A and B are shown apart, each in its own frame.
Chain A
Amino acid sequence: MQLVYKKPETLTDATMHYCPGCGHGVVHRVLMEVVNEMGIVGETIGVAPVGCSVFAYNYMNIDMQEAAHGRASAVATGIKRVLPEKIVFSYQGDGDLAAIGTGESIHTVNRGENILMIFINNAIYGMTGGQMAPTTILGQVTSTTPYGRNSDLIGFPLKITDLVAQLPGAFYVTRQAVHTAGAVRKLKKAVEASFKYQRMKKGTCFIEVVSNCPSGWKMTPAEANVWMEKNMFPLYPLGDLKVPVLN
């Protein structure tokens, strides 16, 4: 029998702990496919966050560091500053990047750190059991917004990707998804481009992936993707927020 499809060697054999339908596994795969295909396994260093993807280093078969909650981009800054020729990325969820780590996120981009920041936005805290995230949408019920997110009480969803796109240090800022085969292909192109720009030392590349959380949202995977398209995409529209300008 002929083998026509297999996982890249840059993914380990470990069984992923992610829930059925979760986007993390797909994003991991896309990232590692690009690392494999670009032949940069030996020169890529990743930084894992605190959150559902805290064990990303168990699945990505490359050198990795586990950061404290919110500090992945500071850790990535430290790595990149002493190894400027290597490829460095951070991988964070919405709570990590846009709540506890907001300061680090904004200042990393503002310095134009020459790294790729991957930001998974699923509008909820998955790991701790479904609490409100900074990106939770208005009216969304979570375990800490049991009556729905109310802006009078707890403010509005934080569109941090729009915010960092305004900073001069950002070179390429885009918002992608992984709910269809087409979306996965587009994400892969964005990751490839980001690593290419990093080689060219252009500044920070920032990719938001609007994703789902079937367990946290208490939906089936299919329902979750429908809910995401209907409720999250209008607030977090897919596409480039800062188009790279190469001269």
Chain B
Amino acid sequence: MESAPRSDARLMKGNEALAEAAIRAGMQAYFGYPITPQSEILEYLTLEAPKRNFVALQAESELAAINMIYGAGGAGARVMTSSSSPGISLMQEGISYMSSAEIPCLIINVQRGGPGLGTIQPSQGDYFQATKGGGHGDYRLLVLAPASVQEMADFVFEGFRLAEKYRNPTMILSDGALGQMMEKVALPASGSLPVINKPWATTGKPANGERRILTSLHLEPEKMEQINMRLQAKYRRMEEDVRYELLGSEEPEVVLVAFGLTARVCQKSLELAHERGLRVALLRPITLFPFPSRVIESLCEIADSFLTVEMNAGQMVEDVKLAVNGKRPVYFKGRMGGMIPTPEEILLELEAITEKDETATA
């Protein structure tokens, strides 16, 4: 992906960069419904569709949109939908069905604060929903967390690639700030994502072949368990596509763990901490599922403690604690309801933690 040819850098909004990237990634159909702060994706794609030969349709609801991508994805097309938190909640039933019927698709969640109708300001409150399944039954999505407008574009390519590699829905877990802010972006060139063969797609029964059925219904429990076991094995295989970024001190007292927008804020906190002589590293999970548990486990050997920073009440911190498994203290700093933590308030946490650690070891 990194070696794909790119266009010259331009200034774009995150939502628009993502939409343009989807067209360049060979997306054949998009179905969506307006909701702030992601409506630019729907607007951009309905504007471009007739000019660039793909389907873009405004559905009557998120329920309809997710089921339209079920149909179109099941018919073999490279498909995408997008929404923001309340709309993603409405899609959960369809996402569960697509996971079970193994229909690849890309789902964009430009998160806003909740619960309920909440606010239109950015949030990371849907981490649990995105990484633990979200709908009914045992299933997982591949989840990518961009932290810049550049990654809003790049991860569309990676998202389609992973969805098709595993025949599984992939989610890009973004937020209202990344969707709305403008940054420099160099878009990947069209045609750089190969079209793959989908023999399972319902395109009409082949003259000399078996017909195709896409379903998630298997009433015999023995068969349903077998299918579950196969799906779980697939989710374990996804481990080979785990991605993360590790910055800062090589011998950290504290490892900051943050994804998406909060990782951007933490980069600044990292600088401030180094200016004050604190040894701090920043681990940014790029794939939230599969989660980079192994790197956290190995960081336990060199770090004194961990500080997870999120725009929620503490969701990813549970996965960090599972990986740390009691070997080191894991602290948490969160803001909720559309509030973004400042680099300074994270620095205060870091200072408090390092003092605490010194007291503990003294």
What is the total number of residues of chain B having a CB less than 8 Å from a CB of chain A? 40
Residue of B nearest to A83 (CB): B75
Q: How far is the CA of A34 from the CA of B71 in the complex (A)?
A: 23
Known interface pairs A63-B203, A66-B217, A75-B67; A103-B61 also in contact (CB < 8 Å):
yes
CB neighbors of B among A32-66 (8 A): 41-45, 47-48, 54-55, 57, 61-66
Binds A, one of B117-125, B208-216, B319-327: B208-216
A68 at the binding interface (Cβ < 8 Å): yes
Q: Which positions 52-93 of chain A face chain B at CB distance < 8 Å?
A: 54-55, 57, 61-68, 71, 74-83, 86
Question: A80 — nearest CB in chain B belongs to which residue?
Answer: B71
Chain A residues in 8 Å Cβ range of B29 = 78, 81-82
- A104 beta carbon closer than 8 Å to chain B: yes
Residues of A within 8 A of B211 (CB): 61-64
- Distance in angstroms from A77 CB to nearest chain B CB is 5
Contact digits for B69-106, partner A, Cβ 8 Å, 1 yes 0 no: 11111111101000000000000011001000100000
A66's nearest neighbour on chain B, judged by CB, is B215
Query: Given the complex, which residues of B lie within 8 Å of A103, measured CB to CB?
Result: 60-61, 63-64
A83-B203 contact in complex given A54-B217, A62-B211, A107-B60, C-beta closer than 8 Å: yes
Known pairs A81-B29, A103-B64; A74 contacts B71 (CB<8 A): yes
- Asked if B277 lies at the interface with its beta carbon under 8 angstroms from chain A, I say no
Q: How many Å from the CB of B248 to the closest CB on chain A? A: 46
Shortest beta-carbon contacts, A-B, top 3: A78-B71, A78-B72, A66-B215
CB of B217, distance to nearest CB on chain A (Å):
6
Is A77 a contact partner of B205 (Cβ separation < 8 A)?
A: no
B59 on the A face (CB < 8 A): yes
A65 to B217, Cβ gap below 8 A?
Answer: no
* Interface, chain A (partner B; CB < 8 A): 41-45, 47-48, 54-55, 57, 61-68, 71, 74-83, 86, 103-104, 107
Instruction: Say whether A75 contacts B205, CB under 8 Å.
Output: no
Min CB–CB distance A59 → chain B (angstroms): 11
Are A71 and B217 touching (Cβ within 8 A)?
no
- The secondary-structure label for the interface of chain B is mixed
Known: A45-B202, A64-B202, A68-B67. A79 touches B74 (CB 8 A): yes
CB-CB under 8 A from B190, the residues of chain A are none
Given known A42-B204, A71-B64, contact A66–B213 (CB-CB < 8 A): yes
Chain B positions within 8 Å of A80 at CB level: 71
Contact for A43 among B63, B65, B204, B216, CB less than 8 A: B204
Q: Which of B60, B73, B79 contacts A104 (CB 8 A)?
A: B60
Instruction: State in angstroms the CA–CA spacing of A62 and B212 once bound together.
Output: 7
CB-defined A-B contacts under 8 Å, sample of 7? A62-B205, A64-B211, A65-B202, A71-B64, A75-B67, A76-B71, A78-B75
Contact call A86/B204, Cβ cutoff below 8 A = yes
B13 to chain A, nearest CB (A): 27
Chain A residue, CB-CB nearest to B73: A78
Closest to B201 in A: A63
A81 in contact with B57 (CB, 8 Å): yes
Which A residues touch B242, using CB under 8 A? none
Determine the chain A residues whose CB is within 8 A of the CB of B215 once the complex forms. 48, 57, 65-66
B101–A66 touching, CB < 8 Å? yes
The residue in chain A whose Cβ has the minimal distance to the Cβ of B63 is A71
Given the interface pairs A63-B211, A68-B97, the reply to whether A79 lies near B204 with Cβ below 8 Å is no
Q: Does B182 sit within 8 A of A, measured CB to CB? A: no
Query: Measured between alpha carbons, how far is A107 from B65 in the docked complex, in Å?
Result: 12
Contact B216 A66 (CB under 8 A): yes
Asked if A45 and B203 make an inter-chain contact with CB atoms under 8 angstroms apart, the answer reads: yes
* Contacts known (A42-B205, A63-B204, A63-B205); A77 close to B68, Cβ less than 8 A: yes
Q: Please, which residue of chain A has its CB at the minimum distance from the CB of B215?
A: A66
Contacts of B77 in A (CB 8 A): 82
In the bound complex, how far is the Cα of B159 from the Cα of A205, in angstroms? Answer: 37
Q: Is B116 an interface residue (CB 8 A)?
A: no
Taking a contact as CB atoms under 8 Å apart, the answer to whether A65 and B28 are in contact is: no
Q: Is B194 an interface residue (CB 8 A)?
A: no
Given contacts A78-B72, A104-B63, contact A71 B94 (CB under 8 A): yes
Q: Cα distance A80–B204 when bound, in Å? A: 12
With A63-B203, A68-B97 already in contact, the answer to whether A81 and B72 are too (CB < 8 A) is yes
The answer, yes or no, to whether B31 is at the interface (CB within 8 Å) is yes
Query: Which residues on A sit within 8 Å (CB–CB) of B94?
Result: 68, 71
Contacts of B69 in A (CB 8 A): 78
Instruction: Contact check, B64 vs A81: say whether CB atoms are below 8 A apart.
Output: no
Using a CB-CB cutoff of 8 Å, which residues 193-231 of chain B contact chain A?
Answer: 202-207, 211-217
B55 lies within 8 A of chain A by Cβ: yes
Interface contact A74-B67, CB-CB below 8 Å: yes
- Please give me the residue from chain A that is nearest to B75 by CB atom: A79
Tell me, rounded to whole Å, the shortest Cβ–Cβ distance linking A36 to chain B. Answer: 12
Residues of B within 8 A of A82 (CB): 28-29, 55, 72, 75-77, 79
For A74, what are the chain B residues with a Cβ–Cβ distance below 8 Å? Answer: 59, 63-65, 67-68, 70-71
**Residue of B at shortest CB range from A106?**
B60
